Structure formats: structure tokens, C-alpha cells
């Protein structure tokens, strides 16, 4: 009966370890959304309900904008009213509370769900506070729904040894993806993008491709760790990645990539704007607005907006091409492979703007890739390795192959953890210990790489 009190206290302590002064922001957003939801169920008039809902959303969004965009807005305002000499060093630096992009969306989603009647307003503040601050997902998601996690907290969960065992396997796999693959790929990507003016176009092409893989294994690795930690306590978090690079088109990609965010944008932005109910032109506008919001959510730079709008354009083109055409049912491997490669190329091109420091640097990298690839010199001088030893490169390739094989199994609905569970005890423990030792040895060998930093913690 006191389980949620213990987990809430642990979650608050966990959050306070990052920066204790921002616990007030977390609790403030929690209290505001809790009170707004309670008020919504006491009102009869639709106009009053909508007024309270909009007020709560506006306050939370204003808080999010203040922390995420303060430094950028300070410079813009300074140049408009204080002269063009204003520089970023003149701004009062404000560090955004960690996870604010995630728990604010959860709070907004909860209020909208109560307004729509999808969930009852939670009257136990401590249970609701646990839903918002639950430590496995507060830092970088998944962005949970009240219809899922809050429902489990409200109804209670029981201890399940099989779930705990499977959860720790997920944690191990997430650590493997993050510590052994993502961190090693980061060395190559950071070296290339950090000195892109000195790199060949072919080197940058490889770096952009590797960055797409790095982003996947880094964020999916975090998600597996978060889902595994929650599962060990009996709670099921939503899946966040479903083999996204096996997608056959960009629409399919967004059904598989950062599922908790893409589904949140669909349910609370796209559908709220009218979705596809008001004709094709309005549908296309709604798609562009939704992905524009996605770009803003990720960061203040114009390059994030360009990344979002690129995906909006992809969606509009895909929707317009399929408007009067039946979906293809060609399931041949060659056809699916070509579609998957084209989809990856489109997505990876957009990742270039996501990773670059600015739109200008992204366009310069594109220019180098097109006009100055220098393929021969890149291969002959080994520039594509970005200083990584061939031996370590071979080990990294083997790890990527293992990742690919596991993703193929999952795509075919074959759960590796279930297969391991059916084996003899001695075999299972050999797998567990081998994975753990492999991760520990890799951490020791790569000592000095910042293993604690997850890419999406920055957003």
C-alpha cells in the first residue's frame, strides 16, 4: 500500500541529484496540472472547461519556452532593442531543468485526456506525482500516458519474477547498445563533425550515416534501460522504438521512431488541429505544423526547424502520392530492401541538419559531399575511420552485426529473451554473465568516454 510513496520519494531524490533547485519546477508542473484536471471534472460548461484547459496548457508551455528558449530570445531581443553588438556571451545563461521537455508533455497530455473524458482525474496527488516524476523515464522518456502508467499506479502492480528477469535482460541489452556501440560511434561522428572543413566529402557522408545509427542505438539503448527499470518494479512503459530503420516509407518510420513522442504529437497536436478531417489541403497544413512543433521541441536552432519541416515535406509528398493509389502489397525481399534503403537515405539526410551546428554548416557539408567527395583519398588514407584503430573498428562492426541480427529477430516477432528463457539454467547464466562481462570490459577499455550522457537528455 505504500509502494507508490517509496517510489515517489526515490524519484524526487533521483531528480534532485541533477540539480536540487529544479525540483520545484517538476513539482510546480505536477501540482498545476493536477489542480487543473480536478477543476475540469467539477465544471459543467464547455466554455469554462476549455478556458481552464487552455490556461493550464499556456502556463506550462510558457515555462517550457522560458527555460528552453531564454538564451535565444535574449539575443534576439537584444539585437532588436539594444543594437547588433549583442552576443551569446552577454546572455544570462539559464540551464533548463533536465527532462522538462518530457514531463511537461506528460502533464499537458494528462489534462487533455481528462478534458476529453479518456481518463478520470486522479484525486491522490502522490500517485499522480509518481506518474509525472517516475525516475526511469523522467530524464528522457518514454513520454508516458495517463491511460497507461497512471492507470497501473492507480490499480497497483504485483511482483512477477519472470517480468523482473526479462526486465534485467532489457537493461543489459540497453547498456550494450549505449556503452559499447553508441559511445564508440560517437567518437567517429564527433571527430568528423568537429572538423568538417578539414574532412573529405566521402568522410562526411560516412559520418552522417554513422550518426543515424548512433542516434538510434543511443536513444533506443536508453529506452530499453528505462523500460527495464520500470519493469523490474512491475510497471510497463510503452515501447519507444520498433526497428525504425526497417521502415518502408517515412510515415512508417514515424510509427517506429520515438513512438512516445510521435504518437503524442499525433494525438495532441495533429488531431487537435483537425487531422485529416477537413480536406487534403488542411491535412497537409496540419502535418507541416505538427513537424514544425517537433523541430521546435528538439531545440532553438534554425537547423532543428529545418529538420522538422523536412519531415513535414516528406509526409505531405507521401500523403499526396498515395491519395489516389492503393498501397503496394509487394512483399518481395528485393522490393522491401529498396524501399528501406530509400527511406533510410531520406531520414539520414534530415539527420544531417539535426546534428550540424547550423543550417549553414549543414549546407556546407552537403556541398562537400556533392562536389568534393574524394573517395579514393578517403579510402586510401583511411580518413573514414576518423582515427579509430582498425582492430577496434572490426570489433565495432561485429557489435553492429549482432544488433542487426537481434533487430531482424524482433522484426519477425521472435523475442530473443523468450528464446534464452527456454534454455537450460546453465546456458542462461552463461549468456547473462557473458553479456555483463562483455559490457564491463568494454567500459574499462573505453574509459574516458562520457558514458553517462545520453543524447536525448539534451532535448
Catalytic residue among 298, 303, 311, 372: 298
For the chain, the distance separating the N- and C-terminal CA atoms, rounded to the nearest angstrom, is 35
Place of cell 562481462: 437
Using only the alpha carbons of the chain, give its radius of gyration: 23
C-alpha cell at 84: 547588433
The helix/strand/coil state of 272 is coil
Reply yes or no: is the peptide bond before residue 285 cis, omega within 30 of 0: no
From residue 208, give the alpha-carbon distance in Å to each of 154, 188, 216, 388, 434.
44, 10, 13, 16, 32
- Catalytic residue at 372? no
DSSP string of 112-159?
HHHHHTSSPPP--HHHHHHHHH-HHHHTT-----IIIIIHHHHH----
Q: 192 φ, ψ to 5°?
A: -70, -50
Distance between CA 272 and CA 274 in Å, rounded?
5
For residue 401, how many C-alpha atoms fall within 13 Å in the half-sphere facing its CB?
6
Residue 139: closest CA among 60, 45, 230: 230
Q: Which residues are catalytic?
A: 298
Amino acid at each position: 500500500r505504500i509502494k507508490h510513496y517509496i517510489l515517489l520519494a526515490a524519484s524526487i531524490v533521483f531528480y534532485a541529484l541533477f540539480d536540487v533547485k529544479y525540483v520545484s519546477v517538476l513539482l510546480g508542473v505536477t501540482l498545476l496540472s493536477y489542480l487543473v484536471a480536478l477543476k475540469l471534472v467539477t465544471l459543467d460548461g464547455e466554455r469554462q472547461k476549455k478556458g481552464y484547459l487552455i490556461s493550464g496548457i499556456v502556463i506550462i508551455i510558457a515555462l517550457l519556452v522560458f527555460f528552453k528558449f531564454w538564451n535565444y530570445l535574449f539575443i534576439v531581443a537584444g539585437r532588436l532593442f539594444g543594437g547588433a553588438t549583442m552576443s551569446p556571451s552577454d546572455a544570462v545563461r539559464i540551464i533548463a531543468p533536465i527532462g522538462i521537455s518530457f514531463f511537461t508533455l506528460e502533464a499537458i497530455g494528462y489534462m487533455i485526456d481528462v478534458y476529453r473524458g479518456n481518463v478520470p482525474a486522479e484525486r491522490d496527488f502522490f500517485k499522480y506525482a509518481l506518474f509525472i516524476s517516475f525516475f526511469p523515464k523522467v530524464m528522457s522518456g518514454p513520454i508516458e500516458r495517463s491511460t497507461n502508467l497512471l492507470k497501473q499506479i492507480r490499480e497497483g502492480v504485483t511482483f512477477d519474477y519472470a517480468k523482473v528477469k526479462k526486465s534485467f535482460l532489457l537493461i543489459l541489452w540497453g547498456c550494450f547498445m549505449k556503452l559499447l556501440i553508441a559511445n564508440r560511434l560517437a567518437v567517429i561522428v564527433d571527430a568528423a563533425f568537429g572538423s568538417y572543413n578539414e574532412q573529405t566529402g566521402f568522410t562526411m557522408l560516412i559520418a552522417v550515416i554513422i550518426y543515424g545509427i548512433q542516434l538510434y542505438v543511443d536513444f533506443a539503448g536508453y529506452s530499453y534501460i528505462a523500460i527495464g527499470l520500470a519493469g523490474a518494479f512491475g510497471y510497463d512503459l510503452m515501447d519507444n522504438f520498433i526497428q525504425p530503420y526497417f521502415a518502408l516509407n517515412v510515415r512508417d518510420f514515424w510509427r517506429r521512431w520515438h513512438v512516445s513522442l510521435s504518437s503524442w504529437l499525433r494525438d495532441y497536436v495533429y488531431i487537435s488541429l483537425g487531422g485529416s478531417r477537413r480536406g487534403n489541403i488542411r491535412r497537409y497544413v496540419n502535418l507541416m505544423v505538427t513537424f514544425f512543433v517537433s523541430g521546435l521541441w528538439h531545440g532553438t536552432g534554425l537547423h532543428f526547424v529545418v529538420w522538422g519541416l523536412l519531415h513535414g515535406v516528406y509526409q505531405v509528398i507521401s500523403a499526396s502520392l498515395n491519395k489516389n493509389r492503393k498501397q503496394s502489397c509487394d512483399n518481395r525481399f528485393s522490393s522491401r530492401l529498396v524501399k528501406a534503403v530509400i527511406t533510410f537515405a531520406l531520414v539520414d539526410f534530415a539527420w544531417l541538419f539535426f546534428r550540424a551546428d547550423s543550417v549553414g554548416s549543414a549546407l556546407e557539408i552537403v556541398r562537400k559531399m556533392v562536389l568534393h567527395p574524394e573517395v579514393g583519398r578517403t579510402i586510401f588514407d583511411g580518413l573514414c575511420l576518423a582515427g579509430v584503430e582498425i582492430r577496434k573498428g572490426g570489433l565495432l562492426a561485429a557489435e553492429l552485426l549482432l544488433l542487426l541480427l537481434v533487430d531482424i529477430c524482433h522484426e519477425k516477432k521472435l523475442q530473443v529473451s523468450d528464446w534464452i528463457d527456454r534454455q537450460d539454467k546453465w546456458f542462461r547464466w552463461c549468456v547473462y554473465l557473458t553479456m555483463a562481462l562483455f559490457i564491463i570490459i568494454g567500459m574499462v577499455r573505453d574509459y574516458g568516454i562520457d558514458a553517462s550522457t545520453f543524447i536525448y537528455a539534451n532535448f
